[in-house]
Chains A and B, each alone.
Chain A
Amino acid sequence: MEFEPKIMAFCCQFCAYSAADLAGSMRLQYPPNVRIVRLLCTGKVDPLHLLRAFQEGWDGVFVAGCLEGECHFLAGNLHAKQWINYTKKLLKELGIEPERLEMFNMSAAMGTKFADTVKEMTERIKKLGPSPLRRDVKDSH
């Protein structure tokens, strides 16, 4: 059976979360491997949230925030970018591929970009294979 990665997406409600909604309204097809967590702003993202996802056995995590310079709270997405770079270093230190974590930027109007992001991450994680910490991830649905 082909490996189906489990990916967690932390999405800002002002952009990526709405973009995901738009992707649905547009009837865009994207891999069903992603589970979305809504955030008020990606600035809320903490390395502990990201590491815990990996600790729980998720194969990949991405954070999607507003386009740079267009954060609803001015610089939340830029802070998120810094924290994600830091968390990538922590993952590397642990011997987990840092590519399993990524930050994306999009606006609420970019339904297609959201679908493409999910496709890109799913492909990337499929190539990397299951996370070394993978166990039976409980489906959030």
Chain B
Amino acid sequence: MTGKQTDKILLAHGGGGQLSDDLIRKVFLPKLGNDTLAELGDSAKLDLDSGSICFTTDSYVVKPLFFNGGDIGKLAVCGTINDLAVAGARPAALSLALIIETGFEIALLEKILDSIAAEAKKCNVNIVTGDTKTVEVGAVDGIFINTAGVGVRLEGVELGMDKIAVGDKVIINGTIGDHGMTIISAREDIQFQSELKSDCASLAGLTCQLLETVEGIKFMRDPTRGGLAVTLNDVARASGFSVEINENDLPIDPMVQAAADVLGFDILNIANEGKFITVVSADKAEQCLKICQSHPLGKDANIIGEIVETTDVPMVELKTKIGGKRIVQMPYGRELPRIC
């Protein structure tokens, strides 16, 4: 702990003086410590064994900070690792920047850091550099986190929307909407028969295995905010082809579906944090599926649709359970619970 003076974050914890130093040495380093971070230099020096790296950043402002299946810390590690993973890279290192509201409990901060450390360790990735800022009450909601990540691109792997062709299959590694509905239900304080659980997970293990084993993978993306609807619409727009998915083939947890129905949400628009789609040539789809299904993060994987010729404008269409068809539009951006 930071001494007996305080168990809450003060403005001075971000001021660069003694309290900042205490926080770094007594809270951050013991939890996140590794040789690179321990140098506490202005920049981390990394020795990477590749000429081609991927580099990404993301900020995390989730509310509530703790939810079933994860917390803001785990999310901040998984989210950035997943962005590297679906780009065809093996994550190598992360940065961690925190903006903390004055009065935030240090015990909660430690809990979040434990979670960050555990997830980073699981993924064999170090937090190599970081920053902490503190702001007055009300300037942030508890704590905001930014992580950036670098990863080494797997040799010979070239992913891109431009590789997508008609006939390619679309695979997802499991049930959709779990994270979003967990967060919304927690936020709205809605109880369901069994507790919903976020799918928050780091996907690099599975994506690397797929990319190293299967040739013919064209594209990967994690359908986070806006859910599958956004990701598939992105695929349609950028590739110029249409995407046809089958409602019967979509893996959906019945409890998550029920939660979405109660609030009037379209499950296709709901966020995921441990899912990715793979677009792969038809002849390699089964091989991909088998690899996914034998991995803990892909046991509910399924081929959900395929890339088809565009007849009008590039669009995403859903073949429904009753044999009908409808367009899956790009969602507005904020789902509102309905009245009845």
- Are A and B subunits of one complex? no
Residues in chain A within 8 A of chain B (CB atoms)? none
Chain B interface (Cβ < 8 Å from any Cβ of A)? none
